[in-house]
């Protein structure tokens, strides 16, 4: 490892890999990928189910297969990779302090940094679920690691809280391995998982999904022995008298993903409270010149295909920054209007030229609705939807021509059709 | 035969054990759980109290003030983190301001130095997030914070390094006293003999006394529920904030922990069974009180909630004495708050005065009270880190990413006295799994390290002793 690099990419998962390839192909060869695990690929390595790559490669790949395609590209370009190396600190001046067994603690100076650290699962603790704290309580991803990487079954009678995609995938996976999944409980009146996962992972196996239900108590001294599940009202408060009891030995939590932005914060980069990721321009540049963010550290994506797409934007922009330096920007802000929980990018630089795709999520399930982007009272883009759900990311395309004609902030909103 | 047997591996038993190894004595500690520090010392507020609260001339008052003064030395020797962050007892009414004056006078009578009643203005300067309703406070600069299990584990580890023996999973079910000694039997049929028995069994100290034939100790339990916030919110408060005690109780506290988190709690619920379940009502109470004390507590940064137990005696004071009916049996019972603070002073008194009353104490010249920690690796300088990594590359490998804990620290926790044998044991010794992901990423890795070091299969690795195995079989 050298002391200076043009681009340092933090994270060797799908985002970091795609960013590295894009940066290289846009003219910068002096790149370092830092990965804390033993091998590249990130969380894809434990996602042995298929369905990855349908958008990008028009075929259904497993997680490791999808990762391998990008790892091959990285290796072909002989991009330097440092595994089992954890980044301890990042400064605004783009100094990256790392630790590993071979070289100890040392600092690398980058001209540009791409943040691609991914996300982590929310834990049981964050929810304040009452009851005991025995063995048998896992996040869905931890259970996935035990099953798919280590070859062990964490439990035999399982209740899952949260119907995010990892929870749904694990409901099927545990069932296939001989466990009995008694219930999937979701506090919201809708699932945040993909529709195809509800069909393929629950319905096909007869696993009941309890919407507007949550776990109100965990029982068991040494090992989980049961849970109490209650229906909740519209304010997500448990309704007395609706308690159901399940005898189980395992509880899996799949209750949301949180971008891992500790390094971003350390560097003093502005974060959005809505995405819990950095505030970025359309090229995924943060408020710190030359620092870019992409993938789940920026916004939690539904599909890895979209992570790769976003990482390519960031990788290309990082290369351009190294080659051309910082730009003078003409900034338009992008904000959320009615029924939109977040929108990204939060800022558009009009000087950059080209079209901009806005990514956002809606706040609830809506039928027969219209999503619009407006600026200065004018509708600049619009899309009608038969159904819009928070579990599926929405997009709107702003063409170069549209962007040239506006001067005011852009607001994205959703209205239900009359 | 042992000279002294200590029953109970909490902070009191642990510091007594260490104190005993300063002399030429053959000593042993018995703990019923699979690890030490599993009772009240596992989960409490971690406050080093100044000493204004206890009734003058009580054991609580005496040992609190002495223990507080001893805390720098004992934590310094043991390499345990301790800081005098100062305590504030906050008043919300004119009546409560009057109570503060009484508390101050009582504290001064107990020998607490530096007590001061401060104005609303000064309180707001000291704590930017204090409630607008707060009118003033009693400031006690000698109040501090320490981690109770860190202190307990370090004390027992240091005692073991100096020759003490530890028996875990030794639940005393029978005590027979013959002419020469006590014979203690465990639930698993083991026996052990000792000339003196120290009863530091926490919630079980009434039962232990009764087993030895002393029916005079009555102990009850109280449960306290807590909420812990991410270190990211660690600067939300800097002092330990108490409500002014009223007839209805002390309320909760809001404090920084020595590890930089924010701790809210505890509730005080009479204990019906031995469990440490949290309840929706209990946690809601903690939140309600935290919102009364401070503006907008950052509850979105909650990383876990838990409950702890504390034992209290019907006498309302610590019982620290030789049994009136069974000679050679020394009680340290009913050690509720401020027991953590008092523990070093209790240990000194018990050994020098009570044990010394029966056995001749000869100084152990080989005693080494220092315990060199490397488990705050994160806090070392780059040069210090690199020197350690050069010697042992496992310190270059981060296992717990949230708390930045290395493989080297985890291996040390499994190998060093008292050895960690399960996931929670490693967690208490290293902080791995205590961060915001709560072990989601590192637990499988730590389980493998435990399995390898202990020469067992992954299926045998537990969270917290037998019956808490992590996994239930292999995949198809």
Range with lowest mean pLDDT among A330-344, A352-366, B264-278:
B264-278
CB A380 within 8 A of CB A357: no
Percentage, residues of chain B above pLDDT 70: 98
Q: Is the alpha carbon torsion for A294, A299, A304, A305 positive or negative?
A: negative
CB B198 within 8 A of CB B347: no
Range with lowest mean pLDDT among A389-398, B129-138, B203-212, B324-333:
A389-398
Query: Strand, helix or coil at B77?
Result: helix
Indicate the CATH number for domain B84-144+221-309.
3.30.9.10
pLDDT in tens, A197-213: 999 999 999 999 999 99
Confidence of residue B62 (pLDDT cuts 50, 70, 90): very high
Confidence of residue B374 (pLDDT cuts 50, 70, 90): low
Minimal CA separation from A231 to chain B, in Å: 15
In this predicted structure, the answer to whether residue A418 has a pLDDT above a threshold of 90 is no
The token duo for A34 is 């830092």
Range with lowest mean pLDDT among A4-8, B65-69, B251-255:
B251-255
In this predicted structure, the answer to whether residue B272 has a pLDDT above a threshold of 80 is no
- CB-CB under 8 Å, A105 with B228: no
Query: Strand, helix or coil at A101?
Result: coil
For residues A117-138, average pLDDT: 93
Of A141, A154, A238, the CB nearest to B470: A154
pTM score, whole prediction = 0.95
Strand partners, B442: none
pLDDT of residue A12: 98
For residues A63-92, average pLDDT: 98
Minimal CA separation from B265 to chain A, in Å: 13
Q: List B residues 176-205 in contact with A (Cβ-Cβ < 8 A).
A: none
pLDDT in tens, B157-177: 999 999 999 999 999 999 999
pLDDT of residue B249: 67
CA–CA dist A119, A96 (Å, integer): 19
For residues B202-216, average pLDDT: 97
The token duo for B171 is 């639940």
Where does A176-212 show beta strands of DSSP type E? 180-186, 209-211
Q: Which of B24, B49, B239, B331 is catalytic?
A: B49
- CB-CB under 8 Å, B459 with A125: no
pLDDT in tens, A81-97: 999 999 999 999 999 99
- CB-CB under 8 Å, B474 with A154: no
> Class for domain B377-460, per CATH?
mainly alpha
Tell me which of B440, B448, B473 to substitute to probe the interface with A (most A C-beta atoms closer than 10 Å).
B440
- For chain A, residues classed under CATH 3.50.50.60 are 1-121+257-326, 123-255
Confidence of residue B417 (pLDDT cuts 50, 70, 90): very high
Minimal CA separation from B469 to chain A, in Å: 7
Of A103, A135, A142, the CB nearest to B440: A142
- CB-CB under 8 Å, B466 with A223: no
Of B280, B390, B441, the CB nearest to A130: B280
Asked if B397 reaches chain A (Cβ–Cβ under 8 Å), the answer is yes
Tell me which of A83, A105, A151, A164 to substitute to probe the interface with B (most B C-beta atoms closer than 10 Å).
A105
pLDDT of residue A88: 97
Residues of chain B with C-beta less than 8 angstroms from the C-beta of A124: 304, 438
For residues B285-311, average pLDDT: 95
Of B228, B439, B472, the CB nearest to A154: B472
CB A356 within 8 A of CB A348: yes
Q: List B residues 261-320 in contact with A (Cβ-Cβ < 8 A).
A: 275-280, 282-283, 302-306
Of B280, B395, B467, the CB nearest to A222: B467
In this predicted structure, the answer to whether residue B372 has a pLDDT above a threshold of 90 is no
- CB-CB under 8 Å, B444 with A221: no
pLDDT of residue B127: 98
Confidence of residue B251 (pLDDT cuts 50, 70, 90): confident
Residues of chain B with C-beta less than 8 angstroms from the C-beta of A102: 393, 396
Outline where A158-248 has alpha helix (H): 165-176, 195-197
Long-range contact set of residues B54-60: C-beta below 8 Å, sequence gap at least 24: B54/B110, B54/B338, B55/B106, B55/B317, B56/B106, B56/B109, B56/B110, B58/B317, B58/B318, B59/B317, B59/B318, B59/B319, B59/B320, B60/B317, B60/B318, B60/B338, B60/B342
Confidence of residue A327 (pLDDT cuts 50, 70, 90): confident
Minimal CA separation from B218 to chain A, in Å: 26
Q: What contacts A311, CB < 8 A, 6 or more positions away? A: A14, A15, A16, A17, A18, A19, A22, A114, A116, A294, A295
Tell me which of A86, A128, A138 to substitute to probe the interface with B (most B C-beta atoms closer than 10 Å).
A128
- CB-CB under 8 Å, B436 with A151: no
For residues B94-100, average pLDDT: 96
In this predicted structure, the answer to whether residue B369 has a pLDDT above a threshold of 80 is yes
- CB-CB under 8 Å, B471 with A146: yes
- CB-CB under 8 Å, A99 with B458: no
Asked if B394 reaches chain A (Cβ–Cβ under 8 Å), the answer is yes
ipTM of the complex: 0.94
Query: Strand, helix or coil at A136?
Result: coil
Residues of chain B with C-beta less than 8 angstroms from the C-beta of A155: 471-472
DSSP state of A311: H
pLDDT of residue B375: 59
CA–CA dist A301, A357 (Å, integer): 15
pLDDT in tens, A167-192: 999 999 999 999 999 999 999 998 88
Of A101, A105, A177, the CB nearest to B382: A105
- CB-CB under 8 Å, A156 with B472: yes
What is the CA angle B6-B10-B15, rounded to 5?
Answer: 65
Residues of chain B with C-beta less than 8 angstroms from the C-beta of A105: 382, 385-386, 389, 396
pLDDT of residue A192: 83
pLDDT of residue B248: 67
Is-catalytic flag, B24?
Answer: no
Q: What contacts B364, CB < 8 A, 6 or more positions away? A: B21, B22, B23, B24, B25, B162
Indicate the CATH number for domain A328-418.
2.60.40
pLDDT of residue A240: 96
For residues A98-127, average pLDDT: 95
Asked if B389 reaches chain A (Cβ–Cβ under 8 Å), the answer is yes
Asked if B443 reaches chain A (Cβ–Cβ under 8 Å), the answer is yes
For residues B371-399, average pLDDT: 90
Confidence of residue B442 (pLDDT cuts 50, 70, 90): very high
Asked if B85 reaches chain A (Cβ–Cβ under 8 Å), the answer is no
Tell me which of B296, B307, B471 to substitute to probe the interface with A (most A C-beta atoms closer than 10 Å).
B471
Strand partners, B145: B47, B83
Asked if B323 reaches chain A (Cβ–Cβ under 8 Å), the answer is no
- CB-CB under 8 Å, B471 with A152: yes
State the average pLDDT for chain B. 95
State the average pLDDT for chain A. 96
- For chain A, residues classed under CATH 2.60.40 are 328-418
> Class for domain A1-121+257-326, per CATH?
alpha beta
In this predicted structure, the answer to whether residue A1 has a pLDDT above a threshold of 90 is no
Residues of chain A with C-beta less than 8 angstroms from the C-beta of B441: 120, 142
Long-range contact set of residues A384-390: C-beta below 8 Å, sequence gap at least 24: A384/A417, A388/A362, A388/A414, A389/A190, A389/A362, A389/A365, A390/A188, A390/A190, A390/A192, A390/A341, A390/A361, A390/A362, A390/A363, A390/A364, A390/A365
CA–CA dist B200, B321 (Å, integer): 11
Minimal CA separation from B430 to chain A, in Å: 18
CATH superfamily of A123-255: FAD/NAD(P)-binding domain (3.50.50.60)
């Amino acid at each position: 490892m050298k002391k200076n690099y043009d681009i340092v990419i933090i994270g060797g998962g799908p985002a970091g890999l795609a960013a590295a390839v894009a940066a290289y192909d846009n003219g910068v060869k002096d790149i370092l990928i830092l990965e804390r695990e033993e091998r590249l690929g990130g969380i894809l390595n434990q996602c042995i189910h298929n369905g990855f790559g349908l958008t990008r490669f028009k075929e259904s790949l497993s997680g490791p297969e999808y990762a391998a395609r990008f790892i091959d590209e990285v290796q072909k370009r002989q991009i330097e990779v440092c595994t089992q190396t954890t980044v301890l600190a990042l400064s605004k001046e783009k100094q990256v302090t790392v630790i590993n067994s071979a070289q100890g603690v040392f600092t690398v100076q980058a001209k540009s940094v791409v943040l691609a650290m991914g996300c982590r699962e929310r834990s049981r603790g964050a929810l304040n679920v009452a009851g005991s704290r025995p063995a048998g309580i896992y996040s869905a991803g931890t259970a996935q690691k035990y099953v798919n990487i280590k070859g062990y079954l964490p439990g035999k009678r399982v209740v899952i809280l949260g119907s995010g995609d990892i929870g749904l995938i694990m409901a099927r996976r545990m069932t296939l391995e001989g466990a009995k999944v008694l219930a999937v409980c979701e506090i919201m009146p809708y699932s945040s998982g993909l529709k195809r996962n509800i069909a393929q992972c629950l319905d096909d196996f007869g696993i009941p999904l309890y919407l507007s239900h949550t776990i109100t108590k965990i029982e068991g001294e040494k090992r989980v022995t049961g849970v109490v599940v209650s229906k909740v009202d519209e304010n997500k408060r448990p309704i007395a008298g609706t308690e159901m009891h399940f005898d189980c030995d395992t509880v899996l939590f799949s209750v949301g993903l949180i971008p891992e932005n500790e390094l971003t914060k350390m560097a003093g980069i502005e974060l959005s409270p809505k995405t819990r990721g950095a505030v970025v321009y359309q090229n995924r540049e943060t408020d710190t010149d030359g620092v870019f963010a992409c993938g789940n550290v920026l916004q939690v994506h539904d599909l890895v295909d979209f992570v790769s797409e976003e990482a390519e934007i960031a990788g290309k922009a990082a290369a351009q920054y190294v080659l051309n330096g910082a730009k003078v920007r003409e900034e338009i802000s992008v904000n959320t209007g009615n029924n939109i929980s977040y929108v990204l990018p939060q800022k558009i630089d009009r000087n950059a030229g080209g079209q901009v795709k806005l990514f956002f999520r809606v706040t609830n399930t809506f039928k027969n609705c219209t999503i619009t982007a407006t600026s200065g009272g004018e509708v600049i883009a619009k899309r009608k939807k038969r159904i819009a759900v928070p579990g599926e990311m929405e997009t709107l395309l702003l063409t170069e021509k549209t962007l040239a004609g506006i001067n005011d902030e852009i607001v994205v909103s959703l209205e239900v059709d009359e | 035969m042992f000279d002294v047997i200590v029953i109970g591996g909490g902070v009191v038993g642990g510091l007594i054990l260490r104190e005993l190894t300063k002399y030429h004595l053959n000593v042993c500690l018995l703990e019923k759980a699979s690890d030490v520090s599993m009772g009240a010392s596992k989960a409490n507020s971690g406050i080093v109290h100044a000493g204004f609260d206890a009734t003058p001339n009580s054991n609580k008052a005496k040992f609190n003030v002495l223990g507080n003064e001893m805390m720098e030395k004992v934590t310094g020797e043991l390499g345990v983190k301790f800081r005098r962050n100062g305590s504030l007892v906050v008043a919300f009414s004119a009546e409560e301001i009057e109570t503060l004056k009484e508390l101050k006078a009582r504290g001064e009578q107990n020998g607490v130095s530096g007590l001061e009643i401060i104005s609303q203005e000064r309180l707001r300067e000291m704590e930017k997030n204090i409630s607008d309703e707060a009118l003033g406070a009693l400031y006690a600069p000698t109040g501090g914070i320490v981690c109770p299990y860190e202190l307990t584990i370090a004390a027992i580890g240091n005692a073991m390094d100096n020759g003490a023996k530890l028996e875990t999973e030794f639940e005393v079910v029978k005590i027979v006293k013959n002419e020469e000694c006590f014979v203690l039997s465990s639930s698993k049929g083991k026996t052990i003999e000792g000339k003196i028995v120290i009863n530091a069994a926490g919630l079980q100290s009434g039962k232990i006394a009764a087993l030895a034939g002393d029916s005079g100790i009555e102990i009850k339990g109280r449960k306290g529920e807590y909420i812990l916030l991410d270190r990211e919110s660690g600067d939300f408060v800097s002092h330990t904030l108490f409500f002014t005690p009223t007839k209805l109780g002390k309320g909760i506290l809001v404090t920084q922990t020595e590890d930089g988190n924010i701790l809210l709690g505890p509730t005080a619920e009479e204990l019906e069974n031995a469990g440490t379940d949290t309840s929706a009502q209990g946690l809601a109470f903690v939140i309600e009180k935290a919102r009364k004390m401070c503006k907008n507590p950052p509850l979105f940064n909650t990383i876990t909630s838990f409950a702890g137990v504390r034992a209290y005696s019907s006498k309302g004071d610590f019982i620290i004495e030789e049994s009136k009916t069974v000679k050679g049996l020394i009680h340290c019972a009913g050690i509720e708050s401020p027991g953590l603070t008092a523990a070093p002073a209790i240990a000194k008194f018990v050994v020098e005065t009570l044990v010394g009353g029966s056995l001749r104490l000869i100084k152990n010249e080989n005693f080494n009270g220092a315990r060199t920690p490397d488990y705050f690796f994160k806090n070392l300088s780059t040069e210090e880190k690199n020197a350690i990594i050069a010697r042992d590359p496992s310190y270059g490998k981060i296992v717990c990413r949230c708390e930045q804990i290395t493989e080297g620290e985890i291996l040390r926790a499994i190998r060093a006295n008292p050895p960690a044998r399960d996931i929670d044991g490693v967690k208490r010794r290293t902080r791995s799994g205590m961060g915001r992901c709560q072990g989601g990423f590192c637990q499988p890795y730590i389980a493998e390290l435990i399995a390898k070091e202990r020469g067992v299969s992954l299926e045998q690795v537990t969270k917290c002793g037998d019956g808490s195995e992590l996994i239930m079989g292999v995949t198809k």
